[in-house]
Amino acid sequence: GGSSAMPEVVEISIPVTPSMDRIQGSLASAMESCLKELGHHKFLGLEFDLTVSNNLFRDFGRSVQRQLDKRWHLVSRKTKQITRDLSTLRRLAFCVLRYDGPTFLQYLEMLRATEGVNSIWLFLDEAHLIFDEAKRRVYRVVAPDVKVGATSAAPHKVVPVLEQPGKWAHLKQVLEEVQRDRRQMLGEDGAGCSQSLSQSQGGEDPLPILVLTQEKLVGAQLEAMLRVGG
C-alpha cells in the first residue's frame, strides 16, 4: 500500500492591536507593583523569583498560597489579597488575547463589581489605563457640534468601535485558502466528483473543517462570525 502523507503544521504569528498592547503593558506594570509589595515580606521565604514572567507562565498566586498554607493564618490580609490579585491579573493577560473587545470589557466590569471593595490592583493607576483602553476598543464618546446661538448643549454621542480580534481575520483567510485548495484537489472545474459530493449527506459539507477553540464562548463567537460575517 501507499504511504500516507504526514500532516503539515503551519504556525501563524498574529500581532496584537495597539490597544491590546497597551492593556498588556499596563497589566504587566500592575503585576510588577504587586510583586514588589510582596517582595517586602522577606519572612515569606518564597522559593522562586518574584518576576512578571514567572507570574505569567505559572499560576503564581496559587503557588504562593500553597507555599504559605502552613503559615496562612500569620499572613496579613493585604498579602493574601495580593496573591489573589496576581492570579486575577494573570487571568486577564490571557483573556485580552482570547476575548473580543466587548466580552473583555464586560469581564472587567464584572471584576470591578465583585472584587472592587477588597482588590488592591483596581486602585492602581494602571487599572484606570486598562479600563480606559478596554472601553476605547468598544466605543468612543463624541462631543456634539456647538451651534451658534444654541441655548442648551447637546448630549454627547456614544459611537461603537467594536475592534475585531486579529485572529478572526486570519481565520477567515485560512478557511478561504483551505476551500480554494480543496476545490482544486477535487477538480471542481468539470469533474463530476464535486457534484456528487455536494449532493451527498443531504447537502451537508462532506469534508468539514475542524476549528478547535479553548473555550465554548470563543467557539460560539467564531461560529456566529463565520455564519453572519464580520
Q: Is the overall model pTM greater than 0.85, yes or no?
A: no
Strand partners for 139: 160
Q: What is the pLDDT of residue 23?
A: 96
Q: Are 156 and 143 in contact (CB under 8 A)?
A: yes
Q: What is the pLDDT of residue 197?
A: 39
What is the 3-state composition of the chain as percent helix, strand, coil, each rounded to the nearest 5? Answer: 60, 5, 35
Q: What is the pLDDT of residue 196?
A: 39
Q: What is the pLDDT of residue 155?
A: 79
Q: What is the pLDDT of residue 204?
A: 56
Query: Rounded distance, CA 164 to CA 15, Å?
Result: 13
* pLDDT < 50 stretches in the chain: 1, 190-203
